[in-house]
Structure 1
Amino acid sequence: MADDPQRNFRSAYYEKVGFRGVEEKKSLEILLKDNPLDLEKLSTFSQRFPLPSMYRVHVWKVLLGILPPHSDSHNLVGSYRKEQYQDIREALKLESQVLPRCSEMSPPDEKNEDFLSISQAMEEIAENPVDCYWLIKSFITQFHTKFGDSVPHLPKSLEHYLSQEEPGLLSHLKNNGALAQLPYNLWFRHCFAGCLPESSLQRVWDKVISGSCKILVFVALEILLSYKIMLLGISRPEGVVKFLCNIPQENTDAIVTKAIDLWHKYCGTPIHAM
């Protein structure tokens, strides 16, 4: 019977098209019936199989079942409070097999503000918390893998392009000490999450996902250009930073459109620019 081609035609078909669905389903069902605290089995499953989207909700529930609670309950629907984003953060660590012992866990600190900002923005884009988790996982993983070495150099790129577009504004920012204090983390590490509204942010993130983190430089550049007169009238660096961290929200779509034009101007028609 083991050699009967009629018996295993589904497995053969799934493997032919690159989707080993039968084996994945059986493995995950076995995992879900076992003790959810068995991290080794969960890790083995995630290493053996590319995860089909239909099973993502199950793995999300397994992850939440393993993680210690950081709030009153693990909600699979509704809005998250800031503390609940730690569930997502620790779930990502668990999947990556770098989750510390419970005694070593601590609430999010300043080093995790970029993660939290992106997570909160992604919640507005995703339809539910499960999709939110997988979108955050993919976006942050790609961003750090592809652009981790480039992000520290983006402030210098911004200075270069500002010298080409508005050298007077650059001199002003240098002279009053604001250039070194611009909200680079908000712009380049948070990818403008918490700075731009959802509609504008999605257009920027589309470019980042398609392979360019340099679009972040041109969005920052266009923000400076768009508010040049306002910035030239501010003499203290803290005033500049306060304004740039709370820019008006009504014309951000226009800013992003102009930023994309500048991106094309300096980079041609980049498909996978840095």
Structure 2
Amino acid sequence: MAEDPQRNFRSAYYEKVGFRGVEEKKSLEILLKDNPLDVEKLSTFSQRFPLPSMYRIHVWKVLLGILPPHSDSHSLVGGYRREQYQDVLEALKVMRFVHMATPQTQVYLRMFQLESQVLPRRSDTSAPDEEDEDFLSIARAMEEIVEDPMDCYWLIKSFVNQFNNKFGDSIPHLPKSLEHYLSVEEPRLLNHLKNTGALAMLPYSLWFRRCFAGCLPESSLQRVWDKVISGSCKILVFVAMEILLSYKIVVMGTSRPEGVVSILSNMPQENTDAIVTKAIDLWHKYCGTPMHSV
């Protein structure tokens, strides 16, 4: 099919005057008019482009299976989701696991535990373990993105379940993947990390188990989660690598592994959008077709 010169001119003009996402937004709006929705096409779109903020939550719900592909069922299914949320919340109140002063993210954790049939006895409730802390970090980040508590819980629950079920076996291998790509992009930095002992101590849990929740501000984080929710955990490797590349000078000047970890775990929040943009470019460069980048 011949290219449309008018469309190409329009795209170039939009980009020149700062409206780069106009064409993509129109394409997404066309996809969202389909009934049933084509989940694969929505996934492909989310892999290739950042989702417009006005449609992000809706697309996430569809990709995570919270809403079905048939748009005419969304209202009915949304009602069922709200009823289920209220029932689980009420059960926890009756069992006195939560009360008015319980932090909302702790409420989400108890709801998740109850639905997963791993709710501890009230007498056994102790400090959250590492898996619980991963959940709470993701919950705190999602709470900053989503206003409605019911939507927030369903998105946290579905995100965590999809991530663990789909990528659970891949997560332990991501540090090695990071090492491989770093050896290609910046071998001197990799050697420094190895020689100082910092490579083994990098904040892999923060980066890979928590998908950068608590590390990146929500404005940058949601662009990374677009890719994770639509089918790629490999994007996490490239965000980690771009963080290392961005702080290369500081890291190279630090010989203590604890110092390196401290720098990377508490990095400034102002340049994270640029880091994520470069990471996505690297991800496309190495992984090619987005749908093959899992």
TM-score normalized by the length of structure 1: 0.75
Q: CA deviation at 1:56?
A: 2.4
RMSD between superposed Cα atoms in Å: 2.1
Which fold has the larger relative contact order, with Cα–Cα distance below 8 Å and residues 6 or more apart in sequence? Answer: 2
Q: CA deviation at 1:89?
A: 1.7
Q: Identify the residue that residue 64 of structure 1 maps to in structure 2.
A: 89
Q: Which one of the candidate residues 254, 268, 274 is aligned to 2:274?
A: 254
Q: CA deviation at 1:219?
A: 0.2
- Partner letter of residue 158 of structure 2? S
Q: CA deviation at 1:54?
A: 1.6
Identity among equivalent positions (%) equals: 70
In structure 1, how many angstroms separate the alpha carbons of the residues matched to 2:91 and 2:99? Answer: 15
Q: Identify the residue that residue 106 of structure 1 maps to in structure 2.
A: 126
Q: CA deviation at 1:58?
A: 2.4
Q: Identify the residue that residue 40 of structure 1 maps to in structure 2.
A: none
Q: Identify the residue that residue 174 of structure 1 maps to in structure 2.
A: 194
In structure 2, how many angstroms separate the alpha carbons of the residues matched to 1:179 and 1:66? Answer: 45
Q: CA deviation at 1:272?
A: 4.5
Q: CA deviation at 1:106?
A: 3.2
In structure 1, how many angstroms separate the alpha carbons of the residues matched to 2:292 and 2:88? Answer: 34
Matches within 5 A, 1:172-211: 172-211=192-231
In structure 1, how many angstroms separate the alpha carbons of the residues matched to 2:256 and 2:96? Answer: 44
Number of positions where the alignment pairs a residue of Structure 1 with one of Structure 2: 220
Residue 160 in structure 1 maps to residue 185 in structure 2: no
- Partner letter of residue 179 of structure 2? E
Q: CA deviation at 1:232?
A: 0.5
CA contact (8 A) 1:70 1:86 kept: no
Q: Identify the residue that residue 135 of structure 1 maps to in structure 2.
A: 155
Look at both structures and tell me which one has the larger radius of gyration over its CA atoms.
Answer: 1
Q: CA deviation at 1:72?
A: 4.2
- Partner letter of residue 252 of structure 1? T
Deviations 1:70-92 (A, max 9, x none): 55417xxxxx73xx423212212
Matches within 5 A, 1:32-111: 52-67=77-92, 68-70=95-97, 72-73=99-100, 81=103, 84-111=104-131
CA contact (8 A) 2:243 2:275 kept: yes
Look up the SS of the partner of 2:126 in the other structure. coil
CA contact (8 A) 2:98 2:107 kept: no
- Partner letter of residue 263 of structure 1? W
